[in-house]
Amino acid sequence: MREKPAGSSSSLQDVYEWRSMLAKLMLFFFGIALWHKGLGIFTGSLLALVWVLDGGTRKFGQTIKEPLVLAILIFCAVLLLGILWGDYPNSGRFRWGKYLGLMIFIPYLSLLNKERLSWAISGLVVGYSGVLLMGTYYQFFWGVQGIPPLKMTYLHFSMVLGIGAILTFYLAGTSNNKKVGLLLWLFAGLLIFIQLNQNGRGPLLATIPTLMLLLFMLYRTQIKKLLGVMAAAIIVIGVSAYHSNNFHERVAHAQNDIELIQQEKYATSLGYRLAVWDVGLHAIAQRPWFGYGTGMAKSAFEKTAETYKDGRYKDLANFIKNLHYHNDMIEIGVYLGALGLLAYAFLLWSWFQTLRAHQLGIFGAALVCYVFLAGLTDTTLIYNSVPTLLLAITAIAISWQKETGAVRIGPGKLDSTVNELPGEV
């Protein structure tokens, strides 16, 4: 009988510890690096490599049981399939490739366990805090919107603020510690105040309704508390909006844009969006089942706008270099028609079902609501760090539930024996 090599168990233990520390470091730095486009791509690639070294491929059968993982794979597969009837790479545009970044959720989720969870949370908190401080500094000390060093636009920064406000609202509403809950409510109010001082209208219009929905779901069985919390939230938002010069300027700009639209002048923020939505919907109607092919946003616009409404919008193709439809559903619908829209709807539904299965149904509903509403005015899923941040929060949330002993329930099933979070269903 072959003898076991001396020291083999200790060698295996050393290998395990080395891989575990490498995974911890990658999860930590990924939370910081995701805010920088180039560094985020590089770190994401390293994260995938660490996932392979950690035996992630062997655990893939377990990972794919999460509905969101399967939905992401289907969504990305449909996008890749759409290349067959598009003209890429002749078009020379790979903007749609950012959708494939959703797959980073797979290695990130798979690497998380009880020992590594704190490292992932720390990285995300450090990264988000840095971005918040930088954005606030540029906004209030330099009068600059967004974060120039990170090439983060005001729309991008506003979306990030909205995500933070929603998460903080949820944590405040479910906290059993009154002091911690109060601090979280105050922090959420600060995030909303900063967002109201940003120029982005779309992210704000996604944040406010989502917060109202979240408050309703958290306190729907406590009518007096619900009315009190909603009244307080409305007062804070109203006072912040009243004292925000940027908010008043946005209202004035919107009124001016509407006047120009009435004169059939669309080279404005609102006018451009309404025009590309109009053309995009018409383009989808022209090819409703499979669209024009992945990556064909500008090409489809040019073909459709040439004759649609006597060519009223055809000059807008030159208004923005990398033309897109400022709407996730229209963008995907132009690419892939009903096939793509079904894949997108399945993605959102599975996102909710994954969180719901881990007793996070209220948070899941709020998160998906925000993604959907933000996607009505912009292509949210291809912003550099927004979907990555959302997926990282999702992975940490469900991993936290697993490690704290929460019982997983199947989609569409409720377990009355489960100890639920405050306000959860």
pLDDT digits (tens, 9 = 90+) for 25-52: 999 999 999 999 888 889 999 999 999 9
* 314 in any annotated domain: yes
Burial of 3 (0-12, 13-18, 19+ CB in 10 A): exposed
Please state, in angstroms and rounded to a whole number, the distance separating the CA atoms of residues 164 and 128. 9
Reported pTM: 0.89
* 406 in any annotated domain: no
* 272 in any annotated domain: yes
Please state, in angstroms and rounded to a whole number, the distance separating the CA atoms of residues 221 and 244. 34
Per the structure, the complete domain to which residue 288 belongs is given by 252-318
* 85 in any annotated domain: no
Mean pLDDT rounded to a whole number for the chain: 85
Q: Inform me whether the pLDDT recorded for 101 exceeds 70.
A: yes
Which of 366, 409, 397 is CA-nearest to residue 169?
366
Of 3-12, 256-265, 292-301, which gets the smallest average pLDDT?
Answer: 3-12
252, amino acid identity: A
- Mean pLDDT, to the nearest integer, of 328-337? 95
- Residue 175 gets the label, from left (phi > 0), alpha (psi -120 to 50) or beta, of beta
Burial of 178 (0-12, 13-18, 19+ CB in 10 A): exposed
Of 50-59, 220-229, 351-360, which gets the smallest average pLDDT?
Answer: 220-229
Residue 168: both structure tokens together: 């903080």
* 120 in any annotated domain: no
* 308 in any annotated domain: yes
146, amino acid identity: G
- Cα end-to-end span (Å), the chain: 58
Q: Inform me whether the pLDDT recorded for 239 exceeds 90.
A: no
* 346 in any annotated domain: no
The segment with the largest mean pLDDT, out of 47-56, 322-331, 353-362, is: 353-362
Distances 413 to 27, 147, 416 between C-alpha atoms, Å: 32, 44, 10
* 217 in any annotated domain: no
Q: How many domains does the chain have?
A: 1
So what's the pLDDT on residue 408? 63
